[in-house]
Amino acid sequence: MAVTRKMRRGWCQICAGVSVLAMMIAAHGVALANPEVTAIRFGEGENSTRIVVETSEPVEFQAFTMAEPGPRLVMELPEALWAVASLATGEGAGRGHVSNFRFISGAGGRSRLVFNLTGPSQVSQTLNLEPGESGNYRQVIDIATAEASVFQASSSEFPASTSIDQLVAERAHARYDAGQCGQIRVVIDAGHGGRDPGAAASHGGHHESQVNLAAALALRDILLATGRYEVVMTRDSDVFIELEDRIRIAQDADADLFISLHADAVASGSSARGATVYTLADRAVNRARNRALDHSDGFLSNGYAQPVQDLLLDMSLREKRNQSLVFAQDLIGRVGGMAPVLDQRPRQANFYVLLDSQVPAVLFEMGFLTNRDDAHNLNNARFRQRLMATVAESIDHHFERCHSPNNPTYTATLNRASAAQ
């Protein structure tokens, strides 16, 4: 059951933290120029909150609020090392105006601290203070309650596309710390099958369920060959599987990623071609919530009170959708490098197989069987092999941190694999 392993991961963060800290100390020995973030403290005033970020060196920083995707304060600083021993994952709870925060050791020579806010707030002052008793430099940000209109006006505005990129970058760095990875399980779902052939064959090829299965088997073999994944198939032959059963298979497998493979079709006359990656749509969230309650998904079967269930479900769905989007964004980018894509960005949809509340999930439409060139490609084993190798690259990238030789779980898995050979 999914929640069991997720909880185990949580308990394990403490021991994992020790090795992460050791890595940070090792890294610090090499790159002394990077300041270390050594402590985060909060002070509460009547309508204000003081955030103190302690660093080993003096740092220039910027602080600004953002309204989307939720009120937050962002502190941008030079590339820094996280060295708060008691919060090895880089995440912690806030106080006052701050509900929680996380550290992102970002790319491009910048690091970020993101403070999620309890409501509209504005920065009233920022200070750099000389070392105090701790011997560390202190960066101070004071924030105060603000009218919603003032907050909106003073918050940085990003076009929708940028905020998705930013979300992607933040999540990619915040998740999958080496210590949090167990054995990674990928569920591959070949769409349709049996009495449901999917899109009809055209241009002399196979119908959709056959194309999907051939691609799914190719992806399975590529992933297994890496030695990094357990792969679970919703089907590995021409059989019909109910949509709800496909979700169940992913849940029972305690999957880390679910990828459903399909091929598109349009009415004749359209020249549409190219691949599309879908994640669960905003408008489908209620449907997903109802599905989880109807089917007593994992953590909902423990007799929690309704408000607790709602909270757990919201948190789980938010995390699942974030992770799905991170993966989808990377996948469509890579696919676009080797084949036509219909859209450079992930699209949102209300597909049933994406409704599960926990497992990050995407639906990959590999191309249009109604398009002569796409159909030719998808019926070609060598093209499918290249396309699935690209999907595997994206999966590798998504779980990159889990593949670090410093991840004890991964090393143990490798040892087991080599002992078995």
Which residue in the block uniquely carries the two structure tokens 């599987």? 241
Q: Which residue's CB is nearer to Zn ion, number 198 or number 367?
A: 198
| Dihedral pair phi/psi, residue 263, rounded to 5° | -130, 140
**Please, what is the minimum distance in Å from the beta carbon of residue 47 to Zn ion?**
54
Q: Which residue's CB is nearer to Zn ion, number 123 or number 218?
A: 218
**Please, what is the minimum distance in Å from the beta carbon of residue 363 to Zn ion?**
8
Stretch that binds Zn ion, among 77-85, 190-198, 217-225, 374-382 (CB under 5 A): 190-198
Question: Is there binding between residue 235 and Zn ion (CB under 5 A)?
Answer: no
- 273-296 CB burial, b ≥16 within 10 A, e <16: bbbbbbbbbeebbeebbebbeebe
Q: Which residue's CB is nearer to Zn ion, number 103 or number 278?
A: 278
Whether the CB-CB separation of 82 and 172 falls below 8 Å is answered with no
Cis peptide leading into residue 69 (ω within 30°): yes
Question: Is there binding between residue 191 and Zn ion (CB under 5 A)?
Answer: yes
**Please, what is the minimum distance in Å from the beta carbon of residue 208 to Zn ion?**
5
Q: Which residue's CB is nearer to Zn ion, number 350 or number 404?
A: 350
Q: Which residue's CB is nearer to Zn ion, number 37 or number 265?
A: 265
Stretch that binds Zn ion, among 52-60, 110-118, 193-201, 327-335 (CB under 5 A): 193-201
**Please, what is the minimum distance in Å from the beta carbon of residue 377 to Zn ion?**
17
Q: Which residue's CB is nearer to Zn ion, number 53 or number 247?
A: 247
**Please, what is the minimum distance in Å from the beta carbon of residue 405 to Zn ion?**
39
**Please, what is the minimum distance in Å from the beta carbon of residue 241 to Zn ion?**
13
Question: Applying CB under 5 A, what is the total number of residues that bind Zn ion?
Answer: 3
**Please, what is the minimum distance in Å from the beta carbon of residue 198 to Zn ion?**
4
Residue among 367, 336, 362 nearest 347 (CA): 362
**Please, what is the minimum distance in Å from the beta carbon of residue 196 to Zn ion?**
9
- 233-252 CB burial, b ≥16 within 10 A, e <16: bbbeeeeebeeeebbbbbbe
DSSP string, 107-145: STTEEEEEEEESS-EEEEEEEEE---TTSSEEEEEEEEE
Q: Which residue's CB is nearer to Zn ion, number 191 or number 360?
A: 191
Whether the CB-CB separation of 366 and 375 falls below 8 Å is answered with no
Question: Is there binding between residue 185 and Zn ion (CB under 5 A)?
Answer: no
| Partners of residue 262 on adjacent β-strands | 365
Question: Is there binding between residue 198 and Zn ion (CB under 5 A)?
Answer: yes
**Please, what is the minimum distance in Å from the beta carbon of residue 137 to Zn ion?**
57
| Partners of residue 121 on adjacent β-strands | 145
Q: Which residue's CB is nearer to Zn ion, number 157 or number 242?
A: 242
Question: Is there binding between residue 138 and Zn ion (CB under 5 A)?
Answer: no
What does the alpha-carbon distance between residue 140 and residue 39 come to, in Å, rounded to a whole number? 12
What does the alpha-carbon distance between residue 122 and residue 133 come to, in Å, rounded to a whole number? 29
Stretch that binds Zn ion, among 191-199, 246-254, 296-304, 384-392 (CB under 5 A): 191-199
Stretch that binds Zn ion, among 129-137, 255-263, 383-391, 409-417 (CB under 5 A): 255-263
Stretch that binds Zn ion, among 87-95, 100-108, 189-197, 343-351 (CB under 5 A): 189-197
Q: Which residue's CB is nearer to Zn ion, number 71 or number 191?
A: 191
Whether the CB-CB separation of 277 and 364 falls below 8 Å is answered with yes
Whether the CB-CB separation of 387 and 338 falls below 8 Å is answered with yes
Starting at the edge strand that comes first in sequence, how are the strands of the sheet with 98-104 ordered? Answer: 62-66, 72-78, 110-117, 98-104, 91-93
Footprint (CB under 5 A) of Zn ion, residues 262-321 = 262
What single DSSP character describes residue 68?
A: T
Which residues contact Zn ion (rule: CB under 5 A)? 191, 198, 262
